[in-house]
Every structure is written in structure tokens, then in C-alpha cells.
Chain A
């Protein structure tokens, strides 16, 4: 028995890679979908907050990510945009990351087409602007000064849904879908704490633990953390077999495999230490 444990402890890392690959490929190939119950979690808080917004409210959605984090953040973007459209809320999209503007366009135009929403009346994409936190402070006093045109150079004055928008106080909620810096922390610092606008966020799983502190203090109304957060929102909005929900089956199977290897590694380590082989 001790010999087997020792051998397992010295497993070639490439075998582990193959097992992880299989644990992801097999559930995707068989289209395995696991139940995704959503409890009293930050994702439900964000959903409830959006759900309670009155019709005709203005919500700013900032697409602060690029293609490298698409598997986590694009399903979130699509689910959030769908929910906002279903609630008849006006969406003003923008980006703190250059490629976020195009990814936001994909999410908004795709959902708008399927729900019959009209560009410049129900949604607009203002595009990307450099500056991060400094630019957010400027948005606080005048959004049109920062974005005199939309992403495709349509002048502000020609966009009907922007007539009532002045500064950040015109928005009932700001949602930042953020992969890092600049992103959610700048929105909390500059828009939330400085101008008092409620902030919600979707973030990569890597950054989720550091952002929980802003939830506990009430500086954010809700949060979608990683693929699980995206799957939660898809479930709450009612998207059947969404990309994130489908991703949670391989995610869960791979986690089980990793946990098994952690247990095996620890058992092998302590077994060797008992024999005096490891320090």
C-alpha cells in the first residue's frame, strides 16, 4: 500500500495534465449539464437589485475586459444585458479597456436584435476612452464631455436616449464587468464613494476574493464571481443551457480531479515524512 501511495505521489505531471484535459473534454462532448442552485449569494443580490429597477431607468454597463477573459465575462455580459433589456431599462455601454467596446457591442447588439430593442433609443455603445479613474471623475460632472460621440462617431445630440443624461448621477446603477485594472475598484472609488451611484460588478474568479470586502461594507450592491457567477446569473435570468451553465459541468468534474490529486499528494507527503523521506 505504501509503495502505491509513493508511486502516486511521484506521478508524472503530464499524466495529471491529460486527466484534467479529459475531465474537461468528456463533459463538454456529452453536453453534460449539472443543476446550478442559486442561494443567498452576491449574484442573487445583483439580480434582485436589477430586478427592482423601475422601467426607463438608465444603467451604465462598463465592459472592462478583453478576449483573454471572455470565457468568464462574456456570458456574464450577455446575461446582464438580457436582464436589463427584459426590465425595459436603458443601457449605456462603455469600456475602460480598448477591446471591451467591441465585446460589449457583440453582447448588446446580439441581445437587442433578438428582443427587438432599438439602438439609440434603448441602448447605445459610447466606446472606449483611456484614463481609468481620472476619466471616471470627469464622467461624474459630464458624460458628454468625455464621450461627445458614440463608438461609431454618431454625435451625442443625435442620440435620443442620451437627452436626459448629464453626469453619473443620471444613472440608477453602474455595472462594471471587470478583468482587472482599470476596472471595478476605480468605479467603486470614483463613482460609488465619490458620487454615490450604486455599483454592481462581474469579475474574473481570480479577482473575486479581493472584491468581497466591498460587498461586506455595502460599497457594492452585488457581484458575479467567475464562471459560477455567470452561471448563477444565467439561471436567475432563465437562460436554458447558457454558455456558463454548460461550462460548470467540466468545471465541477475538473475540480473533483484536482481535489483527488491534492488528497493523494498530501497522503504521499505525510507517508514519506513518516518514513523520514520528506522534510
Chain B
């Protein structure tokens, strides 16, 4: 039994089942979809036990050199609280765990997120005009005009008429250009996935057919 060829054939069959949805919904697609969801769920449960729970919690509570580290019981209890949601009577315990996660996340991210995504971006926009080449200055001007007019478009406290209306029109035009660029990149990403599948079918799966029929080496 050649396990490699079996794997390739299974991959090809599931690929065909999934792409069959492009024609219309059908049992082959449903089978592949359910297979994917079921296998993913099973895989992730085992993966998280093996790679997250055991090394980061269990092995710290029961170290290899022996003994018992009781402090690690606390995160274990909080983890149990998370699944308390499935029992309505004690569901409120899960809020303690969620509160801790949200609090830690917010505390850690508050300064960093503001620094990276607000202050640095504002600074980048303001100081981009201080450049030496003509093209850079032009490019920076487009950036500044784009940012300001884009913000004006979302400013609803004043009617979009006159100068405000014209600026808002520039803003929406620039937003449309940005959405167009985003759409183009999305097409490139989706096509890359299709290309990957086609390369698999043409370069890995197709050559196995003559081998199975006894024509190839």
C-alpha cells in the first residue's frame, strides 16, 4: 500500500467534492464540508491538549523533577469556569475568566495599540511632507489630502454642501480607490489558493494515474 499516493488521491477527491459546489449544492460537497468541520474540530481539540495544556499547564503543575506546584491549580480552576457556560446554574462563573482575559488584554494593548495604530500613523501623515524629492512630496500631498477629505466624508455634523460637500466627494473617491485596491488584492489572494489547488491536481495527482495503471515508474 503506497500511503503517499493514497493521501494524494484523498486530497484530490476532497478537492473535487468541494469545487463541485460551483455547479450547485450537492451531497458530495456536503460530505466534504462535514468531513472538514469534523476533522478540524477533532484535530484542534487534540492539538490544544498536546501543545497548549500539557506543556503550559500540566507539566508546570507536575514538573519532571517531581513534586506538585499548587499555584497552577488556579489557572486550572479558571479554565473550568470557562466551560461552566454549558451548565446554566453556574454559567455566571465563566464571567470571572472572561473578565480576566478581557482585562489583561485591554491593559496590555491599550498603550501599545494607541501608540502603533494612532500616534505613529498621525505622525507619519503630518511629517510625510518634510521630504527632499519632488515625487515624495507629491505622494505625501496625496496622502494628506486623502486622509483629510476621507475624514470630512465621515463628518456628519455639517451638511455636505459647498466646500464641505466637494471635499467629501474627494474623500469618497479616494475611499473607492482604496476599496478597489483592496478588492484587487483579495482577487489575487483567492486566485493564489486556486492556483495552489490546480498545481496540486496537475503536478501531484495527475502523474499518479499512469503510475496506478502501470505505465509510469
B188 within 8 A of A: yes
Q: Quick check: B124 and A216 within 8 Å, CB to CB?
A: yes
Q: Quick check: A28 and B186 within 8 Å, CB to CB?
A: no
Q: Quick check: B123 and A217 within 8 Å, CB to CB?
A: yes
Kindly provide the distance from the CB of A36 to the nearest chain B CB, expressed in whole angstroms. Answer: 14
Q: Quick check: A206 and B108 within 8 Å, CB to CB?
A: no
Kindly provide the distance from the CB of B14 to the nearest chain A CB, expressed in whole angstroms. Answer: 13
Binary CB contact string for chain A from 222 to 259 against chain B (1 if under 8 A, 0 otherwise)? 00011110000000000000010011001100110010
B187 within 8 A of A: yes
Q: In whole angstroms, what is the CA distance A21 to B193 when docked?
A: 12
Asked if A247 meets B199 with Cβ closer than 8 Å, knowing A190-B112, A209-B182, A216-B124, the reply is: yes
A273 within 8 A of B: no
Residues in chain B near residue A208, CB distance under 8 A: 185
Q: In whole angstroms, what is the CA distance A206 to B184 when docked?
A: 9
Q: Quick check: B52 and A130 within 8 Å, CB to CB?
A: yes
* Tally of contact residues, A, Cβ under 8 A: 48
Q: Is the interface of A mostly helix, strand, loop or mixed?
A: helix
Q: Quick check: A226 and B22 within 8 Å, CB to CB?
A: no
Q: Quick check: B108 and A251 within 8 Å, CB to CB?
A: no
A112 within 8 A of B: no
Residues in chain A near residue B112, CB distance under 8 A: 133, 189-190, 193-194
How many residue-residue contacts, CB under 8 A, span A and B?
113
B195 within 8 A of A: yes
Q: Which of B121, B124, B188 contacts A226 (CB 8 A)?
A: B188
Q: Which of B124, B187, B189 contacts A204 (CB 8 A)?
A: B189
B161 within 8 A of A: no
Residues in chain B near residue A134, CB distance under 8 A: 104, 108
A70 within 8 A of B: yes
Q: Quick check: A29 and B188 within 8 Å, CB to CB?
A: no
A119 within 8 A of B: no
Q: Quick check: B120 and A24 within 8 Å, CB to CB?
A: no
Q: In whole angstroms, what is the CA distance A29 to B195 when docked?
A: 12
Q: Quick check: B124 and A254 within 8 Å, CB to CB?
A: no
Residues in chain B near residue A133, CB distance under 8 A: 108-109, 112
Residues in chain A near residue B197, CB distance under 8 A: 71
Interface residues of B in 180-205 (CB under 8 A from A): 181-182, 185-189, 191-199, 202-203
Q: Quick check: B108 and A137 within 8 Å, CB to CB?
A: yes
Residues in chain A near residue B193, CB distance under 8 A: 68-69, 71-72
A266 within 8 A of B: no
Kindly provide the distance from the CB of B66 to the nearest chain A CB, expressed in whole angstroms. Answer: 17
A111 within 8 A of B: no
Binary CB contact string for chain A from 185 to 200 against chain B (1 if under 8 A, 0 otherwise)? 1001110111000000
B contact residues vs A (CB 8 Å cutoff): 22-23, 47, 51-52, 56, 104, 108-109, 112-113, 115-117, 120-121, 123-124, 128, 143, 178, 181-182, 185-189, 191-199, 202-203
Using A134-B108, A226-B192 as known contacts, list a sample of 6 further A-B pairs with CB atoms less than 8 Å apart, ordered by residue number in A: A70-B196, A72-B189, A98-B47, A130-B52, A206-B185, A226-B185
The 7 closest A-B pairs by CB, nearest first: A71-B196, A217-B124, A205-B189, A205-B188, A206-B189, A227-B192, A205-B185
A contact residues vs B (CB 8 Å cutoff): 14, 17, 20-21, 24-25, 28-29, 68-72, 98, 128, 130, 133-134, 137, 185, 188-190, 192-194, 204-206, 208-209, 213, 216-219, 225-228, 243, 246-247, 250-251, 254-255, 258
